[in-house]
Amino acid sequence: MKKKVIFLLLVICFGVSFFAYRRAQVKEHTVFYANDQEKNSVEDDRYTIERIEGGDIKNSLGQAVVYGYYDKVVFGDSEYLACNQVIEKKAAEFQSQYENLKEQVKEADGAKSDYREGEFPYYDTCEVQNIEFWEDYVSILYQTKWFAGGVNETDFEAVNMDKNGNEITIADILKKSDEESCEYAYETTSDFLKKNEIYDETYMEMLQGYKAEDYGFYMENGVCYLYFRQGETTYNAAGSFRIKLAEYQ
């Protein structure tokens, strides 16, 4: 009798473990780049991420002197298929910007076989950092990096939309009017800058003219953050930063 009980317990444990394993296998979704190189896995089967390579420029030594890529989110879930049109538009905008960068380099150094040899390469990249689903909304956060001589720039960029592909604003998240949302965002930003001693009245005057759609934001782990690029709300040396705007459930 004792042996039968032990055997049954082993069978149950194996069954539970196998079910959990199968469930994990079904839920886990492998993310591929456009060049078919596996990046990592995410536990969400509503989308994949494809890295669109912009096409490098190399010198005669085979060194990349210009490179760029864009992480394109592709929604496979039928509820979010309309969002793919917005993403395609963003990807096309990136490709156009990157082509302009390549043309600048070709015009400046194209006559030299070993142009930019030994120097830092120019680059333009846009990489997914986080994807958040909440109610009927989806928020995609990117980190962008750019260098075309001088000082390199690292900033935030986000795409926020409902499942029908309509881009949304902070007013949709705060569930307030545009005017109330802008006032709240302005006060929150002002308090943050003063607390961190980077408040600049000239920049804040420009922020007063912002509409709800002008504020960059993204959602992550139940929190809505405003983000500001270098030189947007204070002097460039302060860099880019984010500010907690509101929590949501």
Rounded Cα distance between 185 and 208, Å, is: 10
Backbone dihedral angles phi then psi of residue 114, each to the nearest 5 degrees:
-115, 40
Rounded Cα distance between 47 and 49, Å, is: 7
- Helix (H) or strand (E) holding 237, with range, is none
Rounded Cα distance between 1 and 7, Å, is: 10
Instruction: Note if the pTM is more than 0.85.
Output: no
Give tens-digit pLDDT for 120-144.
788 899 999 999 999 999 999 999 9
Give tens-digit pLDDT for 182-228.
999 999 999 999 998 888 888 888 888 999 999 999 999 999 999 99
- The distance of Cα 224 from the centroid of its chain, to the nearest Å, equals 14
Least confident interval from 3-7, 78-82, 147-151, 226-230: 3-7
Least confident interval from 24-33, 101-110, 223-232: 24-33
